[in-house]
Amino acid sequence: MPSASVVPLPASWPAMSIAQAHALLTAPGAKFEMETIVLQGVATRVWKNAPPTLRDLVSASRAHGDRLFVVFEDERVTYDAHHRAVAALAADLVARGVGKGDRVALAMRNLPEWPVAFFAAVSIGAIVVPLNAWWTGAELDYGLRDSGATALIADAERHDRLAPFYAGLPDLAHVLVARAAADVTGATRLESVIGTPGDWPSLPDAALPAAALAPEDDATIFYTSGTTGAPKGALGTHRNLTSNILSSGFTAARAYLRRGEAPPDPTPRVALTVIPLFHVTACSAGMMGSVATGSTLVFMRKWDATRALEIIARERVNLTGGVPTIAWQLLEHPDRDRYDLSSLDSIAYGGAPSAPELVRRIYEEFGALPGNGWGMTETTATVTQHGGEDYLNRPDSAGAAVAAADIEVRGEDGVTVLPPDTIGELWARGPMIAKGYWNKPEATAATFVDGWVRTGDLARIDAEGFLFIADRAKDIVIRGGENIYSIEVENVLYAHPAVTDAALVGIPHRTLGEEPAAVVHLCPGCTADEAELQAFVRARLAGFKVPVAIRFMATPLPRNANGKILKKELKALFADAG
């Protein structure tokens, strides 16, 4: 059964079922028409009208002309200027001998140079390896070594971090460095190739270098977050990334049909992008659709809630989000009322579960529609999406799968498909699923099976196809044989008016195996103690689910760059418990 809506919905909603909306949107000749082709030996539904390759996407973006593509502090880059820089850098890479299948690593914070480097490399058939800019020098060295990168495009900070490791990377033949304060030893300043962003409008209006590309050609290696073990590189194709353009458009159109309205043509929007582009959510689910629609991406040097409010007001931002904690910080900001946020019509997020309370508050206090979805590095982002009234009606769901994707919940044997509303392991398939892990055949065989990816997420799917994530299989707390799904307890904690960040972890217990414990961060000026929060949970959930201990953090909970809470670090707070 669906969860209770967080706000009253019109009696006329929904105007049609999910199945009816899918049939209408994917009919022959429709924008979201599908076709079935064979991918890696498996018949797969794909979006018929998706751009064939990323080269086609960036070439078409020239038509956006003087529309703003990227805003970063006082730098403003148009689509025309961006394409000129992409063509110039692509020609330079070709001149260096970089070609189809070569790996080009990309290590920098969100800067205007990031999409230039990305599209320059993929447009000539190279495989872009976006490295986590938060990584240490040793971790970046691992990414370069594991991918066998022959070229690296980095900002000065990442270059300095890697300097001690270059001598041990014989495959790395070319290093280009952006925004270095001085000459860089053993590398080329990127500005000597394409100039600064202010110079890009005066670069030659050249075409991209010739390259023969196909949708199934390799395009990216995105590394998993690596919260346990060494990160694995998910090998993505051009089709994987361009599929997100149609997936996002499809779910937006589905929301209109469910509302009883005709979907409008897509229009350019302004998005405040606060998630790093080396993550599939920002790069694949965010940037691809923006380039297709001529939208504007506003970058921040680092996340700061006050600065974000200033940017939303100044740039008339329509869309922001990324992970739920960002939405919480905007909602709870003590000076929020000082800023004109009337342009903001959507706050969307993925990468972490959100509380129903957050869904309600975004709608009621911002007047914006909340949105979320489910995906992972191995799915190149979007598999399910959730927005509008569907999200308000099922605030604890991650949405229904897009029409080109299938999701199933299977039993422990990995074969048996479980009935609706039964918790098991989530499996997914579609044109967005990565080919496998780079140079890791055993891990690939264990995770990618006959076109499906086994996700490691515990979930249920209701009778209408809406997905509900219960937990990561490895994060479930088992107390004396009783399963405790952390999201269920976390959602209750989030419903407490003082809590803006929460995580449940398991701590060892001699006889029960483990017990639940929680870490929370309170909103500014709010107060609550352990006993109060335990009583709050006890009033709403079974007693065995009540955290036996609660720790309070003065700052938001630690997360990796993909928005996942680092629960391993939080467990250390309970070293004296158990």
Residues 503-545: pLDDT tens digits?
999 998 877 778 999 999 999 999 999 999 999 999 998 888 9
Give the C-alpha separation, 501 to 492, whole Å.
11
Structure tokens at 15: 């105007």
Q: Which residue has the tokens 């495959």?
A: 171
> Taking the complete model, does pTM exceed 0.85, yes or no?
yes
Q: Are 153 and 106 in contact (CB under 8 A)?
A: yes
End-to-end CA distance of the chain: 37
Of the candidates 223, 216, 276, 261, the residue with the CA atom closest to the CA atom of residue 240:
216
Give, for 502, the enclosing helix (H) or strand (E): strand 499-509
Strands 188-189 and 174-178: parallel
Provide the pLDDT for residue 1: 45
3-class DSSP state for residue 373? strand
3-class DSSP state for residue 144? helix
Which residues partner with 188 through β-bridges? 176
Structure tokens at 238: 């051009």
Provide the pLDDT for residue 225: 66
Which residues in the chain show pLDDT less than 50?
Answer: 1-2, 227-228
Of the candidates 183, 132, 138, 180, the residue with the CA atom closest to the CA atom of residue 159:
180
Of the candidates 105, 99, 151, the residue with the CA atom closest to the CA atom of residue 124:
99
Provide the pLDDT for residue 227: 45
All domains of the chain in start order, with CATH: 54-65+76-213 (3.40.50.980), 235-472 (3.40.50.12780), 482-574 (3.30.300.30)
Provide the pLDDT for residue 485: 81
Of the candidates 334, 253, 241, the residue with the CA atom closest to the CA atom of residue 289:
241
Provide the pLDDT for residue 322: 81
CA 191 to chain centroid, in Å, comes to 30
Give the C-alpha separation, 15 to 26, whole Å.
18
Which residue type does 494 have? Y
